[in-house]
Amino acid sequence: MTFSSGAIAGALLLAISLVMIAHAGYSAAEPRATYIRPTDLAFAKATHVATGNAPASYALPVEITAECLFGTLLSIAGAVLYAGDLQEVKMEREMGVRSMDLLLMCPSFRSVRHRGSNLFAPRK
């Protein structure tokens, strides 16, 4: 199997972006661990740190947010490059494989609770 230069570049971009996103996740968890310890949970609840109403000093740094967003955009670009060209789906080939009964089957329209259960139920 041969890879084009676009696929190799896409795989490289994907690997770099996954490392960036993992680093951003670790970097985001690290500051939380410094100000919320299990012994300080009562203090954290009292100061609204655990409820999401943290003061600005506890907010996530802009560098971590930017790294995460850049890693996400880089992963999208890498996935597009790695995927390659799209192939068209020909209806004739699909119709040759499947029958019309299979294509027109709609299981959601089937009703297993109909009036026959009331008509032919044993009388009490």
Residues 94-112 have pLDDT tens digits of 777 777 777 777 766 666 6
Work out the average pLDDT over 1-9. 77
Residue 9, φ and ψ in degrees, nearest 5: -65, -40
> At which residue do the structure tokens 């410094």 appear?
34
Q: Return d(Cα 52, Cα 59) in angstroms, integer.
A: 9
Burial class (CB in 10 A: 0-12, 13-18, 19+), 27: middle
CA dihedral 101, 103, 107, 111 (to 10 degrees): -50
pLDDT at 35 over 60: no
Mean pLDDT, rounded, of the chain: 77
The answer on pLDDT for 19 being more than 90 is: yes
Say what the pLDDT of residue 43 is. Answer: 60
Polymer length in residues for the chain: 124
User: What digits encode the pLDDT tens for the residues 8-18?
Assistant: 899 999 999 99
